[in-house]
Amino acid sequence: MAQQSNSCQYIFSDVQKPDLPLIHGENVSSIFEGNVLVTAVNQINFGIEEGKITAIIGESGSGKSTLLKLIYGLLEPNTGEVRYRGWLVPTRKDKLIPGHDAMKLVSQGFDDLNLYAKVWDNVASQLSNTNLELKASRTQEVLEQLRIDHLAQKRVADLSGGEKQRVAISRALINDPEVLLMDEPFNQVDAAFRDELQQDIQNIVANTGLTVILVSHDPSEVLAMSDYLLVMKAGEIADFGNPKELYSKPNTPYTARLLSKSNILAPHEAKILGIETETLISILQENVSFEENSEGFFWIKDIKFRGSYNEVILGNEDLTLHMIQFPKSVIKKNTRINILVSSYHPF
Ligand code: ADP
Ligand code: MG
């Protein structure tokens, strides 16, 4: 994607910093003043790479949406700075219309859509009328890209959640932003349609070089589609890296719980399984298994039906583990067992 003129200097006194990633934050804080001070983002450093999908994940209230607003320029950092292509991101004090011109934000909910207008008009209205032919062809192109061209003449109000989300993304993409920001974009999309939308976004990134930053609290969606994961905890970055690596080798127990609902054991609990360790360890649910043994020290505590798999809870009075079982044979609660752990990860 060509570097657009709006990727440059907004702030008169600013000097471009060389050799930074596309988006770069240094010592960035955001503090909300009310009855009490809330430090939503606390002195973080980060870099976002161009042409990739970066997911910001963390529990509710960890500062994800605040970080997205800092990147877009909707919030002024209380400490530090955010730069885009080496230039300071302008905020409300620098710019009349909030938000960086090279970026588009698709917010939670569909606040920006006109529910009673047609899909076509919602999307086309983002373009000027200087070239009507181009306006029509570009609108058609972006509707096709998001596979909603057959819905062009429908009112947005009559669409499903997933279709509305596709309209919102079309609207955001029609002016060729360099960065697409999305806050919990799949919340209102049925699980069955989520995979397709995620795949379509991945294809757009691969075909156009668009940079995507999306906020989520759902590991299954970000693990499937992101190139990088930025894990937020209480306003700080708990982890950053490749999703597969963070899944199998999380740097913190928080990341392990968030991404995989891993079993986190203290040394004395690990010892019950015969694992000697001086630190906490995590054991992925899929790395736990059992064999029936009427003399076994452990037993099946509970079995939860999860559709395509069972979540089996097992252990003894001092230890509880969760595991995933694809049931071939039926196992009963209270069956005596041996527990087998194929691998674990020390912190
Ligand atoms: P997340 O998106 O991860 O759920 P947020 O970034 O929305 O978290 O919020 C982080 C923290 O900042 C929370 O404690 C939240 O209550 C607080 N917060 C967010 N926005 C405001 C605001 N406008 N005024 C006061 N506190 C806020
Ligand atoms: Mg949020």
Q: What is the pLDDT along the chain (347 residues), one digit of tens a residue?
A: 444 445 677 888 899 999 999 999 999 999 999 899 999 999 999 999 999 999 999 999 999 999 999 999 999 999 999 999 999 999 988 888 889 999 999 987 788 899 999 999 999 999 999 999 999 999 999 999 999 999 999 999 999 989 999 999 999 999 999 999 999 988 878 887 888 999 999 999 999 999 999 999 888 888 889 999 999 999 999 999 999 999 999 999 999 999 998 999 999 999 999 999 999 999 999 999 999 999 999 999 999 988 888 999 999 999 999 999 987 677 899 999 999 999 999 99
Please list the residue range(s) of the chain that carry CATH number 2.40.50.140. 264-346
Q: How far apart are alpha carbons 219 and 55 in whole angstroms?
A: 10
Please list the residue range(s) of the chain that carry CATH number 3.40.50.300. 5-102+177-258
Does ligand 1 have an atom closer than 6 angstroms to the CB of 30? no
Considering the domain delimited by 5-102+177-258, tell me its CATH architecture.
3-Layer(aba) Sandwich (3.40)
Report the CATH number of the 264-346 domain: 2.40.50.140
- The one-letter amino acid at 201: I
* Sign of CA pseudo-dihedral 254, 255, 257, 262: negative
Count of other CB atoms within 10 angstroms of residue 184: 19
Torsion angle, CA of 157/159/160/165, rounded to 10 degrees? Answer: -90
Ligand with the closest atom to the CA of 183:
2
Ligand 1: centre distance to CA 8 (Å) = 30
pTM of the model: 0.92
In a 13 Å sphere around the CA of 332, the CA atoms on its Cβ side amount to: 5
Does ligand 1 have an atom closer than 6 angstroms to the CB of 108? no
Mutate to test the pocket of ligand 1, among 28, 29, 32 (most ligand atoms within 8 A of CB): 32
Ligand 2: centre distance to CA 184 (Å) = 7
222-261: burial string, b at 16+ Cβ within 10 Å, e else:
bbebbebbbbbbebebbbbbebeebbbebbbbbbbbbbbe
The residue whose CA is least distant from atom 26 of ligand 1 is 32
